Structure 1
Amino acid sequence: MVTTEQFPVRVFGGPTAFFDYGGLTFLTDPTFDAPGDYPVPGGQLTKTAHAAVTPDSLGRIDVVLLSHDEHADNLDNSGRALLADVALTLTTPGGGQRLGNGAKGLADWESVELDRPGGGTITVTGVPAVHGPGPREEVEPLTGEVVGFVLSGEDLPTVYVSGDNASLDAVKEIAERFGPVDTAILFAGAPRIPVLFDGEPLVLTSAQAAEAAEILGARRVVPVHYNSWTHFTEGRAELVAAFTAAGLIARLDLD
């Protein structure tokens, strides 16, 4: 029987969250640098707030789930340094090649089995993500390759980590294979870069996050990627409003 008890997910700002699942500890998209400007092709990204913790305070990190390695708001300098001390980083196929030792790229629907300390395994499956509006083949040349993750195991709840995904069609594919999910860690914030896609959101809006929760049948939604950067155009208030309007506010976990 799968437990119905919710496991804690600690959210530190931006896309970075930490949780214990099946006896292993997982960290998403590590970003611990100080506020400041970070160059990107054609401009810069501006971070406005420190992370809620420092990497040293987290203790053991068994696995990093890295949606992509090419943007500073998903992997910054401190995050890159942290990877050297983590045995396994799961990321995109291209990121696995770029990051080298300890990194493994996952293609769509490719899985790895991780041994649990008390016996048994956790399955981590790479799932589709599209970092911008429109078809994947049109988006990837501009914003790069991104991967999401589904975690599952015997007697464990199913967890979806979206990564920087803007596609509800991708969410529907994931729901068909894995839904309903217990916990969805959804990257939101409706980030916009004026020179890309006429300023259309590169990741889920708040309303799309609520729609994704419904598609997935998610019992709980933990939003990340909605604060600490100026190009995130929707925050906590918009998430609360969207989930309230959709009748899903009881599923939204902002604590």
Structure 2
Amino acid sequence: MRLTRIGGPTVLVEFDGWRILVDPTFDAPGRTYAFGWGTSSRKTLGPALGPEAVGPVDLVLISHDHHADNLDDAGRAFLPSAGRVVTTRSGGKRLAGRTGDAPVHGLAEGDRVVVAAPRAGLADLEVTATPCRHGPPLSRPIVGEVVGFAVRRTGESRVALWVTGDTVLHAGLRRAAHALDVDVAIVNVGGVRFGLTGPLRYTMDGREAVELIGLVAPRAAALAHYDGWSHFRDGEAGLRRALAAASPDVRERARWLVDGTAVTL
């Protein structure tokens, strides 16, 4: 499997002939985006690759469409060139009719869809929505619906790719980690906080990411979505501190991706 970090949560995944793009964000840095309820964040880093450099993709996975750090204007413009789009159930409704000829599948937690192979010789893929809680308890009415994705070859139980999505570590995520047999995980971190809501966190910090990697024990855990925005308060520094204090097993599984360069895992 080859992973290319583009920026934020945006990662190009290539395996078994498939090209999968996670949470497309291609806007230039410098702009401040509203996140609802008086919160906002400024984009501080641009993408390592533009849409033209990424090229055609067979499948786009969007953990949620309503926050610009996971789907921005340039990312939306990219969707009609994709083969298929899978996102949340509510996001599927919002994106309907806006992705050109690319079909949109909206999933709630636990839902699954089989994505037919786009070319001869490729295996079909099964995509299952995994649990996310994008904030403290009872925050979903405010932060909206978010999911992760477990991607399997049809007929196989092992998960080839697990994308955690934007989430804190909570009971549902721990149960999923115990239940999944994962080859490669993309773990979104960063420790998002906003001044308006004080100490409340909306994504995992480094300490929680280390715990999750230990629970799921993937062959490799690629680290993502920890920089490039002003709302990351734990960020790369917190993640490195947590990994330095982690067990040797977790440190061996954790992988830092290189911006704009394909890394083979």
Give the TM-score, by structure 2 length: 0.87
Match of 2:18 among 8, 17, 24: 24
Matched-pair contact (CA < 8 Å) for 1:168–1:208: no
Calculate percent identity across the aligned residue pairs.
35
The answer to whether residue 69 in structure 2 is matched with residue 66 in structure 1 is: no
Matched-pair contact (CA < 8 Å) for 1:22–1:122: no
Q: Secondary structure at the match of 2:226?
A: coil
Per-residue CA deviation, residues 99-126 of structure 1 (Å, 9 max, x unaligned), is 0042211111111112333143211111
Q: Secondary structure at the match of 1:253?
A: strand
Q: Secondary structure at the match of 1:133?
A: coil
Q: Could you say which residue in structure 2 is the equivalent of 1:4? A: none
CA distance in 2, matches of 1:147, 1:97: 15
Q: How does 1:147-162 map to 2 (within 5 A)?
A: 147-153=147-153, 158-162=160-164
Instruction: Tell me by how many angstroms 1:186 deviates.
Output: 0.7
Q: Could you say which residue in structure 2 is the equivalent of 1:185? A: 186
Instruction: Tell me by how many angstroms 1:97 deviates.
Output: 0.3
RMSD between aligned alpha carbons? 1.7
CA distance in 2, matches of 1:160, 1:168: 17
Matched residue type, 1:202: Y
CA distance in 1, matches of 2:169, 2:241: 21
Q: Could you say which residue in structure 1 is the equivalent of 2:168? A: 166
CA distance in 2, matches of 1:81, 1:70: 15
Per-residue CA deviation, residues 54-97 of structure 1 (Å, 9 max, x unaligned), is 01111111111101011111111001111122131111100000
CA distance in 1, matches of 2:17, 2:107: 22
Moved over 6 A (4+): none
The answer to whether residue 74 in structure 2 is matched with residue 94 in structure 1 is: no
Q: Secondary structure at the match of 1:236?
A: helix
Match of 2:129 among 126, 129, 135: 126
Matched residue type, 1:34: A
Matched residue type, 1:168: H
With a CA cutoff of 8 Å and minimum separation of 6, indicate the structure with the bigger relative contact order.
Answer: 2
Give the TM-score, by structure 1 length: 0.90
Question: CA distance change for structure 1 residues 235 and 212 in 2, over 3 Å: closer, same or farther?
Answer: same
Q: Secondary structure at the match of 2:242?
A: helix
CA distance in 2, matches of 1:122, 1:131: 26
Matched-pair contact (CA < 8 Å) for 2:56–2:81: no
Matched-pair contact (CA < 8 Å) for 2:192–2:202: yes
Q: Secondary structure at the match of 1:123?
A: strand
Instruction: Tell me by how many angstroms 1:175 deviates.
Output: 2.4
